[in-house]
Amino acid sequence: MAFRDDSEWLTLGQAARFLGVAQSTIRKWSDAGKVPAFYTPGGHRRYRRSDLETFLDRSGPGGKPKGGPLVLLVDDDEKLRELVRVNLEFAGYKVREAGSAEEGLSAIEEAKPDLVLLDVMMPQTDGWEMLRKIQDQYGAGAIPVVMFSGKVDEQAEEQATSRGAQGFVGKPFDLQQLVDKTKQLVPV
């Protein structure tokens, strides 16, 4: 009788640590069929280490870079950046993250992105100021920018458009709405 190698199988918590994400994130990925999960007779999820390694090679942080358009994601919320990055990578984009406007402007100098997703509310330099600096340096509309903010009112989208952004999405946003807006502006 052959026994399976238990070191090959990881629990939900072990798999989440292996991938460096929250358990809720890996649960969503397995529910969506992005990461294969197996269920014990008691209904607990188990993940095969080799499947997780394949997943990392395909799309993980440190995995092989994707060949799609480059999106720069600028937001001071690290967990939000991770969530958005993962969803955009699954949609076929390369994603670079920045935690501040200063980091974002440096990232643009290193590699000009095809699109910038930019949070309005950030410490020190806010998103509106970063948008202005991008336009001053590269020209209005040269790099498409989609603004997003938790402070949403009737004027928010109008203000984004009047300041030269190509779109506005309110937070908390529907991730699919953000991915769809990205695809609309920069098709994969």
Beta bridge partners of 74: 98, 118
Burial label, 135 (beta-carbon count in 10 A; 0-12, 13-18, 19+): middle
**Looking at per-residue confidence, does 14 or 2 come out higher?**
14
Angle between helices 175-185 and 78-90 (to 10 degrees): 60
pLDDT at 2 > cutoff 50? no
What is the tens place of the pLDDT at every residue in 132-174? 999 999 888 889 999 888 766 667 778 888 888 888 887 777 7
Angle at 89 (CA atoms; ends 181, 145), nearest 5 degrees: 35
**Order of strands, edge to edge, in the sheet holding 9-11?**
9-11, 45-48, 38-39
Cα–Cα distance, 14 to 18 (Å, whole number): 6
pLDDT at 24 > cutoff 80? yes
CATH of 70-185, one of 2.40.30.10, 3.40.50.2300, 3.40.50.300, 3.50.50.60: 3.40.50.2300
User: What is the predicted pLDDT for the residue at 123?
Assistant: 84
pLDDT at 34 > cutoff 80? no
Cα–Cα distance, 39 to 174 (Å, whole number): 29
Q: Does domain 6-59 have CATH number 1.10.1660.10?
A: yes
Identical fold, 6-59 and 70-185:
no
Q: Where are the domains of the chain?
A: 6-59, 70-185
Q: Name the amino acid, one letter, at 113.
A: P
Nearest CA-CA partner of 134 in 150, 115, 159: 115
What is the tens place of the pLDDT at every residue in 96-116? 999 999 999 999 999 999 999
pLDDT at 4 > cutoff 50? no
What is the tens place of the pLDDT at every residue in 48-101? 888 888 777 766 444 444 468 999 999 999 988 988 988 898 888 999 999 999
Q: Name the amino acid, one letter, at 10.
A: L
The pTM assigned to this predicted structure is: 0.65
Cα pseudo-dihedral 177, 98, 32, 4, rounded to 10: 180
